[in-house]
Structure 1
């Protein structure tokens, strides 16, 4: 069912350019999904990476996206974050924000954070300094290079350090952390900006069993306050965190449901789980 049929109020929207004086986007999810892609298609040299993709993400939900290589998972994230412009379709953030009108920087500022598979942290800086640099302050100018953090902001850093289990490593150089710890630090850096939607690409690749378990606990704890979209190939990990799973195949949604439903779906077994 099309989103405009499910939520008629979405037919009347304000232009994206109507932002607050502080530059914040007027996100409103009271009558529909926090994020949706509808009939989105993307072609690269004749290859359809996305083919009329429909995806609807609710406020505060944890969604896992799976599928074989070439299914369109990375292109989907590229479209959401403004890296790739679709040939056709719509991409909306809440009821008011047309993401196709915004660039990557505006989308990131507006509340959509993305964590790539390979962690990108400032390795020559401490864990604490990485979080401080990532803090959402006045992004309209680089004067935040000289700002002095408040007690409230220090408390926020401490909260994030506790959440990502790096409180005991706050003064360590990020480059000395384990692979899993770097992944957690990068998630913490995104959380410093308080995103409404968090895209996480293969978070447990290369992790130890203990790190994988801790990562599962972290992502589950984020759901509710944030909408979390996890792209992952590790089926055991997906099962440990999944509430709802979307399977992509040839750029479209092949199946959607609980992990049990997905694992019993003949179409999914044929094109993915049976590989």
Structure 2
């Protein structure tokens, strides 16, 4: 029995537990569009006239040296940081610079930070249940009972993240890799259209890295996925298109073979890896 069930009136079924379809319109362009975006902190230009587009259903890898602006870029997209100038659009209708963080998340942009943040005392199932896009006011949460459709959604996500056999285990005893997958699953419960993933394989075993690559590539097409990562072997294994950031702007873009053979990329970034 789940946390919500234990407090539920068994005759109640709350349809608000099932999120509405995303209102994002991508019929006339990319799902994410950044134009001439700049932001400075104490005189340091963290983002410098950045131009970037992400297509609907695309898997994009973002690489670059420390200080290239990768985290700041994600902060701008999610509303944590406001740029000094530029435009940031989600689909053709939603100006993200006019929205706050909760509004952007509700619109369909999910972000996974490097360190997994799961509820360790709760089971895998309960973590997914609580993450479901829903009315978060106290009383509805206390009395809500999962509908059949909501249970099906949790089962679907459990299968996607490969944790079906761990559904009743406490999240705190999962491996590092499994916690990362669970957090991705918690984001997927909210049906994001765009998923921002920061260094997903840091600290993982080779087997966990391989499984993570399979998970992220399986999501492409269903969601747009932007992966920021330093492990070049992992990037090569999943990359379809790679964007290299340097000093807050795009240095190079293309396939992994194209960017890894670009002398500018070798000089400022890949040379550090050898």
TM-score by length of 1: 0.90
Q: 1:216 aligns with which of 213, 226, 231?
A: 213
Q: CA deviation at 1:26?
A: 3.4
User: For the structure 1 residues 238 and 167, does the alpha-carbon distance in structure 2 shift closer, same or farther, using more than 3 Å as the test?
Assistant: same
Q: 1:138 aligns with which of 131, 135, 138?
A: 135
CA contact (8 A) 2:22 2:193 kept: no
The alignment partner of 2:145 has SS state of coil
The answer to whether residue 148 in structure 2 is matched with residue 151 in structure 1 is: yes
Aligned residues: 254
In the other structure, the counterpart of 2:57 is: 60
In the other structure, the counterpart of 1:16 is: none
The alignment partner of 1:274 has SS state of helix
Q: CA deviation at 1:139?
A: 5.1
The answer to whether residue 264 in structure 2 is matched with residue 245 in structure 1 is: no
Unaligned runs of 5+ in 2: 1-18
The alignment partner of 2:27 has SS state of coil
Q: 2:105 aligns with which of 98, 104, 108?
A: 108
CA contact (8 A) 1:26 1:96 kept: no
The answer to whether residue 81 in structure 2 is matched with residue 84 in structure 1 is: yes
Distance 1:50 1:193 in 2: 29
Q: 2:35 aligns with which of 34, 38, 63?
A: 38
Q: CA deviation at 1:136?
A: 1.4
Q: CA deviation at 1:146?
A: 2.4
Distance 2:270 2:96 in 1: 33
Instruction: Tell which has more relative contact order, 1 or 2 (C-alpha 8 A, sep 6+).
Output: 2
Name the Cα RMSD after superposition.
Answer: 1.4
Q: CA deviation at 1:23?
A: 8.8
TM-score by length of 2: 0.90
In the other structure, the counterpart of 2:48 is: 51
In the other structure, the counterpart of 1:207 is: 204
Unaligned runs of 5+ in 1: 1-21
Distance 1:111 1:124 in 2: 27
Q: CA deviation at 1:143?
A: 2.0
User: For the structure 1 residues 32 and 140, does the alpha-carbon distance in structure 2 shift closer, same or farther, using more than 3 Å as the test?
Assistant: farther
Q: 1:184 aligns with which of 181, 185, 188?
A: 181
